[in-house]
């Protein structure tokens, strides 16, 4: 049984006017009912991808499908079924929370009752005549989420929804996302540059770096993937002989005076060292090399300690 896919992009490429490729063959697949963590460092292409999904950028190359429909030609049908929050909250600061919602209540034709429901849901029902200008950043973010929830969307696209929030705000937003997903089966795409945060709520993960998808799949698959991608790096005094010795057991390759072979575990490393030493080779260095993915993780996590 295959789970239906809510968002699917095929060979998506995008360049801004300066000619630099922002997206390079991005194939996104978001399963229905998932919380899809879209992870990558700043400038990786997350917002560009999400803007393309909403039609805020004109698609240049590749296919964009939401709810099984091509975006071009079904823009209104698609937008009616989703809610979005892109970058900073989009609010009319001279209006109250209720007035901000009334604007979109008209656009989505949801009925007035829904305004109070979403205000209740995000905990802003008591703000009364207070203007959005006087709201804290956390309150603004919650109001923006309330707008995104007005039409009871099947898909919620949230771009860095916890950016700038205090720890409490981050937890509240996370709980809200989980609640929507669990109680209303809302599919959520949530982008972030913080691995730690996404891991706490996502069921699926997509990792983008420099415009390319490095990983996509269920969260559990990530661990296996990390192991699969790792390589052992060996430096000896005679690489040619070392290759002859090791090639019967391992897929060895030589790269810039280093030998590379797929990393298994610590025992494997010790066994290889012993084997090479027994054959009279000098082993200068032997250690697991970080994969692109791990490199990326360090980048993602170290930026945000």
Partner 1 sequence: MSLVIATRAELIKNKRSAAFWLCLIGSAFMPFIFFLTFTLRPDLNYARLAAEPWQAHLGKGWQNFSAFLLPMFVILTCSLIPQVEYKNNTWKQVFASPLSIGDIFFSKYLSIISMVFFLFVMFNVFMLLAGVAADLIHPKYTFLEKAVDWKWLIKMNFKSFISLLAIISIQYWLSLRFRNFIVPIGIGLGLLVSALILMPWEHINKVPYAFPLLSFAGSGGPEAAKSGLLASHEIYSILYFLVFTLLGFADMRFRKERG
Quick check: 9 and 26 in contact, CB under 8 A? yes
* Residue 122 sits in the site that holds partner 1 (CB under 8 A): no
Q: Which is nearer to partner 1, 16 or 184 (CB)?
A: 16
Q: Is residue 130 a contact residue for partner 1 (CB under 8 A)?
A: no
Q: Which stretch binds partner 1 (CB under 8 A): 48-56, 118-126, 192-200, 211-219?
A: 48-56
Rounded distance, CA 19 to CA 225, Å? 32
| Among 103, 270, 277, 298, contact with partner 1 (rule: CB under 8 A) | 103
In the complex, minimum distance from the CB of residue 81 to partner 1, in angstroms, rounded to a whole number = 9
- In the shown chain, the binding pattern of residues 59 to 98 toward partner 1, with x for contact by CB under 8 A and - for none, equals -----------------x--xx---x-xxx-xxxxxx---
Decide: is 55 part of the binding site for partner 1 (CB under 8 A): yes
* Candidate ranges 19-27, 51-59, 209-217, 283-291; the one touching partner 1 (CB under 8 A): 51-59
Of the candidates 78, 80, 95, the one whose C-alpha atom is nearest the C-alpha of residue 140 is: 95
**At closest approach, how far in Å is the CB of 85 from partner 1?**
8
Among 36, 104, 135, 263, binds partner 1 (CB under 8 A): 104
DSSP element (H, E) containing 99? helix 97-108
109 binds partner 1 (CB under 8 A): yes
Using DSSP's 3-state secondary structure scheme, residue 31 falls into: strand
Query: Are 85 and 158 within 8 A, CB to CB?
Result: yes
User: Least distance to partner 1 from the beta carbon of 19, Å?
Assistant: 14
- The sign of the dihedral angle between the CA atoms of 252, 253, 254, 258 is negative
Run of H or E including 219: helix 219-229
| Burial classification of residue 52, based on how many CB atoms lie within 10 Å of its CB (0-12 exposed, 13-18 middle, 19 or more buried) | buried
Nearer to partner 1, 83 or 138 (CB): 83
d(CA 267, CA 248): 18
DSSP 159: E
The neighbour count for residue 237, using CB atoms within 10 Å, is: 12
Residue number with CB closer to partner 1 (118 or 234): 118
**Cβ neighbour number for residue 229 with a 10 Å cutoff:** 16
Report the nearest approach of partner 1 to the CB of residue 62 (Å): 15
Closer by beta carbon to partner 1, 14 or else 263: 14
**Interacting positions 201-240 with partner 1 (CB under 8 A):** none
Cβ closer to partner 1: 40 or 83?
Answer: 83
Q: Which helix (H) or strand (E) holds 206?
A: strand 204-209
Site for partner 1 in 134-153 (CB under 8 A): 147
Token readout for 155 is 């898909």
Report the distance separating Cα 86 and Cα 82, nearest Å.
Answer: 13
Q: Which is closer to partner 1, CB of 84 or CB of 181?
A: 84
Q: Which residues bind partner 1 (CB under 8 A)?
A: 51, 54-58, 76, 79-80, 84, 86-88, 90-95, 99, 102-104, 106-109, 147
């Amino acid at each position: 049984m295959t789970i239906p896919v809510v968002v699917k992009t095929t060979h998506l490429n995008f360049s801004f006017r300066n000619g630099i490729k922002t997206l390079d063959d991005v194939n996104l697949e978001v399963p229905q009912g998932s919380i899809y963590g879209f992870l990558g460092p700043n400038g990786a292409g997350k917002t560009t991808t999400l803007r393309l999904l909403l039609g805020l950028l004109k698609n240049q190359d590749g296919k964009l499908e939401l709810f099984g429909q091509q975006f071009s030609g079904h823009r209104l049908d698609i937008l009616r079924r989703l809610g979005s929050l892109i970058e900073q909250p989009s609010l009319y600061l001279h209006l109250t929370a209720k007035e901000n919602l009334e604007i979109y209540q008209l656009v989505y034709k949801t009925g007035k009752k829904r305004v109070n429901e979403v205000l209740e849901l995000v905990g802003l029902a008591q703000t009364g005549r207070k203007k959005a200008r006087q709201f804290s950043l956390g309150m603004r973010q919650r109001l923006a989420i309330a707008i995104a929830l007005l039409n009871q969307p099947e898909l919620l696209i949230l771009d860095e929804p916890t950016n700038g929030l205090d720890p409490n705000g981050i937890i509240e937003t996370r709980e809200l996302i989980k609640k929507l997903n669990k109680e209303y089966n809302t599919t959520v795409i949530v982008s972030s540059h913080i691995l730690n945060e996404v891991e706490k709520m996502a069921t699926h993960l997509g990792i983008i770096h420099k415009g390319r998808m490095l990983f996509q799949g269920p969260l559990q698959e990530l661990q296996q993937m990390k192991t699969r991608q790792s390589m052992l790096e060996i430096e000896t005094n005679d690489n040619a002989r070392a290759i002859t010795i090791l090639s019967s057991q391992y897929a060895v390759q030589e790269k810039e005076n280093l030998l590379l072979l797929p990393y298994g575990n610590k025992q494997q490393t010790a066994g290889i060292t012993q084997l090479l030493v027994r054959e009279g080779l000098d082993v200068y260095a032997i250690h697991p090399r970080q994969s692109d993915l791990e490199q990326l993780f360090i980048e993602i996590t170290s930026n945000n300690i």
